[in-house]
Amino acid sequence: MAFADKLKSKSFLYLAEMETPKGVDLAAFADNGRHLKGRVDAVLVPDLSHAVMRLAALAGASVLKDLGLEVIVQFSCRDRNRLALQGDLLAAHVLGLSNVMATAGEPIEHGDQPGAKAVGDLSPAEFLEAAAGLAQGRDMGGRELVGKPKFCMGASVASFQDAAGAKAAVDQGASFLIAPPVFDLEAFAPLAAELKDCGATLIASVLLLKSVGMARYLNQNVPGVNISEATIKRIRSASDRPAECVKVAAETVQGLKELCGGALLMTAGWEDRLPQILDLATQ
């Protein structure tokens, strides 16, 4: 079933994020993808996330699609102007990748090519407008297209600041919303309640903690993140810490089933753990 149809089905959706490799050896990437086949409703392929240069999202998404996975392709507004974004949106359609969403992109100086020039021609809101325009057969310059692409559009809640912004994205045509990583279900509940009937499926991100250090780093450096001391203590005192991290993520996913329409599993390089999280989360 296409992802667009799954969004209409009311069932809880499982998504997984898969970073493309930094290079052209696709063995591990494809292997991880194969393990997700039939287990997730879609795989989200980020576009040069954290401003780290790697294989283009469109290429990675195309590889995963060929493996039989439903894919969401992200487009970073940081790295392309409106010509390139529109051209790549058309490319996505031609490649059979109709699920698209934009991110503003993390600051370039946080990445591995800190001297690069940022573009930022369009914001994610303007990206949605551009994609909607293309779907109606016109580009941003008002020129008519030969053949109309079809998109299932999404938006990142973070790119639109808050619930009010996310609702604006829905008005612009987003049919799914990706919320930032949830570590505290109670803290997430008000946002989930506010977006419950907004007309789009709210999908919460679940970031796999990989260590106590990572949890502490997130608490100290990422605004809005509050990983409880109880969780940190639980991971620290576990005999098998990575396995405990997997359990924590799976429990968060289970808790989210009461709050929103789906979970996006983010494993930041530990994509091989995705099946384990899914095993526990779907029990």
Partner 1 sequence: MITAERKPMEEIFHSVEPYGKILLVGCNECVTVCHAGGRKEVAMLASALRMGRLKQGAPLTVDEMTLERQCDPEYAEELALVVDQYDAVCSMACGCGVQTVAERYQGLPVLPMVNTEFMGSSEKNGVWAERCAGCGNCVLGLTGGICPIARCSKRIFNGPCGGSSKGKCEISPDVDCAWQLIWDRLKQLGQTELYSQIMAPKDWRSARDGGPRRIVREDMAI
Interface residues with partner 1 (CB under 8 A) are 107-109, 114-118
* Closest CB to partner 1 among residues 31, 109: 109
**Min CB(107)–partner 1 separation in Å:** 7
**Min CB(19)–partner 1 separation in Å:** 24
**Min CB(109)–partner 1 separation in Å:** 6
* Closest CB to partner 1 among residues 10, 117: 117
* Closest CB to partner 1 among residues 107, 213: 107
**Quick one: 214 exposed, middle or buried, by C-beta within 10 A (0-12, 13-18, 19+)?**
middle
For residue 259, what are the contacts with CB-CB under 8 A and spacing of at least 6? 185, 188, 189, 192, 193, 204
**Min CB(157)–partner 1 separation in Å:** 23
- The C-alpha atoms of residue 41 and residue 130 are separated, in whole angstroms, by 26
**Min CB(83)–partner 1 separation in Å:** 14
* Closest CB to partner 1 among residues 90, 116: 116
* Closest CB to partner 1 among residues 44, 51: 51
Q: What letter does residue 110 receive in the DSSP assignment?
A: G
Structure tokens at 223: 């605004």
Listed in order, strand segments (DSSP E) in the chain are 13-17, 42-45, 71-76, 99-103, 152-156, 176-181, 201-207, 262-266
Residue 206 CA neighbour count, 13 Å, CB half: 29
* Closest CB to partner 1 among residues 50, 241: 50
**Quick one: 129 exposed, middle or buried, by C-beta within 10 A (0-12, 13-18, 19+)?**
middle
- The C-alpha atoms of residue 147 and residue 245 are separated, in whole angstroms, by 47
- The C-alpha atoms of residue 246 and residue 199 are separated, in whole angstroms, by 32
* DSSP letter string, 32-47: HHHHHTTT-SEEEE-S
**Min CB(106)–partner 1 separation in Å:** 12
